[in-house]
């Protein structure tokens, strides 16, 4: 194919109404894809901001309500009674060990269980 035939072919292609229709269609499709991509980016940005705002709002409500939450008196009494039933009194704790093997002493304002014989302590705690 020589340059003259190529020039004629190019002129026929550019002056052809089908080419103009096709070119306009391609431009519309490209513009539609471009706008869709921009829309998706905006939607992703807005969704991210909304999610961050929701997490912040929920977090503030949870901390606010958690600090304000107090137990009703009846429920507080029930919990205290349950805690008391799970713990041993001093006499009950001393009864667990052999008689005369340990005693309570007060050290720095706290009660401490003291064993008279190191072997008994090792038998129960090691």
Q: What are the extents of the domains in the chain?
A: 3-68, 87-125
**Which whole number is the average pLDDT over 9-24?**
74
47-90, pLDDT tens digit by residue?
999 999 999 888 887 766 655 556 677 777 777 777 777 778 88
9 versus 126: the higher-pLDDT residue is: 9
Residue 89: what pLDDT? 81
User: What's the chain's average pLDDT?
Assistant: 83
Which pair of structure tokens corresponds to residue 64? 């606010």
Phi, psi of 71 (to 5 degrees): -80, 145
Residue 3: what pLDDT? 76
Please state, as a whole number, how many other Cβ atoms lie within 10 Å of the Cβ of residue 71: 11
Inter-residue contact 17 to 24 (CB < 8 Å): no
Here the contacts of 112-121 (C-beta below 8 Å, separation 24 or greater) are none
Phi, psi of 88 (to 5 degrees): -100, 150
Distance of CA 19 to the CA centre of its chain: 56
Distance of CA 74 to the CA centre of its chain: 33
What share of the chain has pLDDT > 90, as a percent? 31
Residue 23: what pLDDT? 79
């Amino acid at each position: 194919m020589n340059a003259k035939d190529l020039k004629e072919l190019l002129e026929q292609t550019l002056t052809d109404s089908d080419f103009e229709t096709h070119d306009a269609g391609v431009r519309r499709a490209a513009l539609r894809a471009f706008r869709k991509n921009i829309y998706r980016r905006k939607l992703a940005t807005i969704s991210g901001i909304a999610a961050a705002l929701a997490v912040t709002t929920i977090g503030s409500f949870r901390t606010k309500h958690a600090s304000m939450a107090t137990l009703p008196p009846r429920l507080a009494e029930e919990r205290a009674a349950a805690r008391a039933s799970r713990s041993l009194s001093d006499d009950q704790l001393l009864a667990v060990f052999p008689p005369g093997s340990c005693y309570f002493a007060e050290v720095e304002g706290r009660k401490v269980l003291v064993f008279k014989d190191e072997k008994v302590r090792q038998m129960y705690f090691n």
